[in-house]
Amino acid sequence: MKSHYRTAVVETSGEPLAVATGLATSGLFDTYVVYEGPDGWSYAGGAAAEIVLGPRTVRCTENGTTRERPWRGDPLEPVREFLDGLDIEDWRAYGWSAFELAYAIAGAEAGEQVLLHLTVPETEVTLNGSRAVLRSMSSDALASVEAVMSRMDPEPRIPARTAHARLESGGPAYCEGVEAGVRDIRDGRFQKVVLSRVVPVEGEIDFAATYMAGRRANTPARSFLMSMAGMRALGFSPETVVEISAGGRVTSQPLAGTRALTGDPATDAQLREELLADPKELHEHAISVKVAVDELGGPCKPETVVVEEYMTVKCRGTVQHLASRVAGQLPEGGSPWDAFAAVFPAVTASGVPKRPSYEAIRGYESQPRGPYAGTVMTVGQDGSMDAALVLRSLFSRGGETWLRAGAGVVGNSRPARELEETVEKLSSVSRHLVPRGSSGPPGGPPAGQVTVPKQRRPRRAGAQEQS
């Protein structure tokens, strides 16, 4: 017999962002995901079922029983099998996938990190306006969530932002990587590669307060706050990798091409016109859209694949992007995981063609990406899926906290500009970092200036494998 969720509907006085974040900090569950989707916020707490995909084994937990076994071939096959076989009625899973999952899908060595981690929550709260729908496997947990929500401050105070991150950290090595990527492109190895860099953050950060402050200042396509298996992360995703409805409609939203948002209307309009006229940015965006069309033509019925929106400008916090939307329809019986595998990782965070770009990313970046440039996602029993690109994010694991950002490198890229672009993107999170234990109104100094170092010739891509 399948397990069922107990359900309650309540009215809330607080904004959905504050309620979802308050549930995350309530201490009810150590494992949780707060996800802002197209229809509002969701809070997923605890794990009624869980799957963790590693580079060689998959670990599945349901009804208190955990089994681990090796997998071979398609890494997504054991994920499908586990979810399709769940004895839970009307389940929805939440979690994330690492960028390195793409290597496993391509049949390459994926390193040692977790590739995908999904949980079907014990308790789920969906928030839209003043209405909250509560679901839980436990009547006690359902009552506890109601009690926590009844005691919440409807207008919580966000502490002051006083934390600091050196946004120029790693600049010399990054410029070297961009220079080498341009040479590789001119040598015909690939057309585009997205290279990223890590910026360490000192001290302990209040992730919940940072998420609230950052979300109120940003304009993301999706946002998230999560704590899973010792990893904490938050982010303000500028784009979705794939959206799939219960009826099998698939959409993807590539964003490529960037200029800053300063807050001054005249300056921002000038930068927008510059963006729309820049040959480098237009080329980078056009090839990204072409890849998205080709990829959706695999899992979708080819005649249904269309570009619904082309090269508009989307504002995302501290930057503005060229944006397009590609859509298609899965055939009857088509799996959302087929569409996910076809478009993952996002072309706007990997390269063109994708497989040759993986070698460059391994060679030029100092450490594995993990969730960065992967996805945060929800998957439903009805066949729906919503997978957002993990960018504009903050991460913490093992006592270390860091930011990460990248830029698309094409044949006419300039290292100084690509480094500047990463700073523009990092600022959408770094401006809102809240140290643990701080208080007072939000605020603080703007991001610092970037000094572009004298450039040295780096090693070739693939010269050093990641540890």
Catalytic residue IDs: 239
Residue 195 and residue 364 in contact, taking contact as beta carbons nearer than 8 Å: yes
Q: Which of 294, 395, 278, 436 is nearest to 352 (CA)?
A: 294
Residue 348 and residue 194 in contact, taking contact as beta carbons nearer than 8 Å: yes
Q: Assign 106 to helix, strand or coil.
A: coil
How distant, in Å, are the alpha carbons of 221, 250, 295, 303, 399 from that of 247? 22, 9, 19, 17, 43
Residue 323 and residue 311 in contact, taking contact as beta carbons nearer than 8 Å: yes
Q: How far is 123 from 94, CA to CA, in rounded Å? A: 12
Q: How far is 113 from 371, CA to CA, in rounded Å? A: 10
Q: How far is 271 from 93, CA to CA, in rounded Å? A: 40
How distant, in Å, are the alpha carbons of 7, 284, 349, 352 from that of 290? 44, 10, 15, 10
C-alpha 441, offset from chain centre: 28
Q: How far is 173 from 456, CA to CA, in rounded Å? A: 8
